[in-house]
Structure 1
Amino acid sequence: MINAISGDSDFIKEINNSKFTGFVHSTFNRTFNIKCFENGDLFTIACRKLDNGPNTLIVNADNMKSQKIEVNDPVRVEKNLLFIGEKLTISIDKVDLWESVLPPYPSNEEILKRNVIKMKEYLNVHGVGGGMKKSVLTKNPFEAEVSNMLEKRTILLLNELLNHRISTALPHAVSLVGLGPGLTPSGDDFLTGLFTIFNMKNSPFYPYRSFCEDVLKKARTLTNDISYMTLKKAANGKVRDSIIALLNSILVEDDQDLILSLNKLLNIGSSSGTDIAYGIVFGMEATIRAGGKVC
């Protein structure tokens, strides 16, 4: 048996209610995902080296490989214990509850404007290429073409948002779903960052956050289960802790904290952190330049 350290409050509630059953959907070195029979959502068990996130339980283990969890292993709950077949039992007796809470959009944008510029400059130097950031040297013509498509489609999306045309921005956002390298494709990671900005209260785009749901409705068959689940949560303003920490850093005048938070995000996946960060920058720039006039 291992203990859960912290976990998403909604996930903990499901376990406490003893109504959670499913099977192992996918396994990785530091995580494995569970497909829930009750609602069809994916839930993640992650080692202590990772940050909190929606539908995620952080457990007191260095990695998941040693647990020998396999795809299709049955999952059930009994008396506040989560059983993964006969291989692993997870106790939530001492778990710390975590919730995804985004900071509100600031009334004064001056600090935000300066930090977005700093963030963009840092990404241009330290961001991982191959996704939203073009690689200096592409491996093959296909990679170069995907990179060009990502660039062109984000430009089209930005143009519609800046011209206050939310409805006509929709097909350009949908065109990014499933596009690019990675387990979570670059276009999806970018949209995760963008959706986060739409869900910040007081943002000019906040009244139009149904845009995120509209994209999601068309995304189900365009990407994989894991990436879709991330988009589904982000569409409702539910994102991992490292993203929230970066948003908080962007809103205050503290360069050291900004760079520290940004580096933590950049360490996610191969290019996922960079792609999410570009989505946040894109969303912030669009919000600032939209001037509150959106239709």
Structure 2
Amino acid sequence: MASATSTAPAARPCRSAGEVRAASIETAFLQALQREGFHGRVHSVFERVVNIEQQGGELFTLACRGLDSAPNTVIVRLSGFGGSGITEGDAVRGDAAGIQVGERLWIELSDASPWECALPAYPLKTIRLRANLRWLQAQLDRLGAAGGMLAPPRGGSAFELAVADTLAQRSAQLSDALAHGDHAAARKHASSLFGLGPGLTPSGDDFLVGLFAVLNISASPCCGWLGGGAEVLAGAERSTHAISLAALTQAARGRVRETIASLIGHLMYGAPGELGPALRRVLAIGSTSGTDIVAGVRCGLELNISHEGRRSCQSR
């Protein structure tokens, strides 16, 4: 995809351009804007999200209010992008003051609150985590969206059943390989999940996002396994698309959406009455994505419990 080569600061919009203020900005996005300006192109446009591909290929996101903070994301005070006139391929440039999208939209950053993903450290005592994981499994069976990591609804097609069986088999093989310390086999099984399943971000990818997040929890028994997930990503671009790959890459760095980090914290430390709202916020992501992510989180946390007492790594 072509990109601008000028390093001049972003120009303020003309009077005919729309202007909107940002509510929050993820710190890595802000740092990218501050490094000699920011240049890219609109990668994809949805009703509540616009993805931007920076020169070099990294994706950044503009998200509407009501969505949660996330890696490489600005939350803007808009209800939707439907009337913005933004189209794929529009030039994007920005700096610490704001972001110009095409000729139609200026995003003012002067009062945007900074946000950074912070996964909590693993607890010294896991009595509460164990109880909360039992609760979580019951809730997934009751509230989870069928058709991804969960079996499709009754009456599903033969294809849907086959995909669900494959997802279940490969995720179980991955979990079993990790449980037995066979990381070579684990890398192979994790790679087999890329691009597998329904959804804009396929179910196998979403499962890995949840698992990778947990593999980056500091002071946990499984901290750093598979390089936090980074060891699995070589060649992933051949098996899944850019939006899903961006989420996987960030999760392998321990950077996930605010709702996911919050759920992990509640599962490790939260009282029973606090868990429901945190879980429902994640389950609301996409059609099956939230359920698939939670399944990966649950897998990772159960691996940690099964390996307690082993040496753990510290904060990275």
Shorter-normalised TM range: over 0.9
Aligned to 1:268: 285
Is the CA contact (8 Å cut-off) linking 1:7 and 1:98 kept in structure 2? yes
Deviation at 1:41, TM superposition (A): 0.4
TM-score (norm 2): 0.90
Q: In the alignment, which of 261, 285, 304 is matched to residue 287 of structure 1?
A: 304
Contact 1:246 1:258 in 2 (8 A): yes
Residue 196 of structure 1 is aligned with which of 213, 227, 233? 213
Partner of 2:274: 257
Map of 1:226 onto structure 2? 243
String of CA shifts for 1:128-177, please: whole Å, max 9, x gaps. 00000112325321111100000011111111111122222110111111
Could you say if the C-alpha distance between residues 55 and 211 of structure 1 is closer, same or farther in structure 2, counting changes exceeding 3 Å?
A: closer
Q: Which letter maps to 2:146?
A: G
Q: Residue type of the partner of 2:235?
A: K
Distance 2:170 2:28 in 1: 35
The answer for the alignment partner of 1:137 in structure 2 is 154
Q: Provide the rounded CA distance (Å) in 2 between the counterparts of 1:62 and 1:124.
A: 33
Q: Which structure features the higher share of helix residues?
A: 1
C-alpha distance 211-16 of structure 1, shift in aligned 2 (>3 A): closer
Moved over 6 A (4+): none
Distance 1:235 1:165 in 2: 19
Partner Cα separation in structure 1 for residue 182 and residue 270 of structure 2: 32
The reply to whether residue 120 of structure 1 matches residue 137 of structure 2 is yes
RMSD, aligned CA: 1.6
Query: Deviation per CA, 1:163-202, whole angstroms, max 9, x where unpaired?
Result: 1222221101111111000010000000000001100001
Between the aligned partners of 2:280 and 2:141, the Cα distance in structure 1 is: 13
Distance 1:10 1:274 in 2: 27
Counterpart residue identity of residue 13, structure 1: Q
Residue number in structure 1 paired with 2:184: 167
Q: Tell which deviates more after alignment, 71-80 or 242-251.
A: 71-80
Specify the structure having the higher radius of gyration (Cα).
Answer: 2
Q: How many residues align?
A: 294
Distance across 1 between alignment mates of 2:311 and 2:157:
40
Deviation (angstroms), 1:209: 4.5
* TM-score when normalising by structure 1: 0.96
Q: Tell which deviates more after alignment, 44-53 or 18-27.
A: 18-27
Q: Is the 8 A contact 2:30 2:96 kept in 1?
A: no
Using the alignment, how far apart are the partners of 1:79 and 1:174 within structure 2? 37
2:53 aligned to 28, 35, 38, which one? Answer: 35
Q: Percent identity, aligned pairs only?
A: 37
Q: Which amino acid aligns with 2:39?
A: T
**What residue number does 2:24 align with?**
6
Deviations along 1:12-39, whole A, 9 cap, x unmatched?
12223442101100010100100001x3
Per mean C-alpha deviation after superposition, the further-off stretch among 8-17 and 128-137 is 8-17
State whether residues 194 and 205 of structure 2, in contact with CA within 8 Å, keep that contact through their aligned partners in structure 1. Answer: yes
Q: Kindly state the Cα deviation for residue 282 of structure 1 after the two structures are TM-superposed.
A: 0.8
Amino acid of the structure 2 residue aligned with 1:25: H
Structure 2 unaligned runs (5+)?
Answer: 1-18
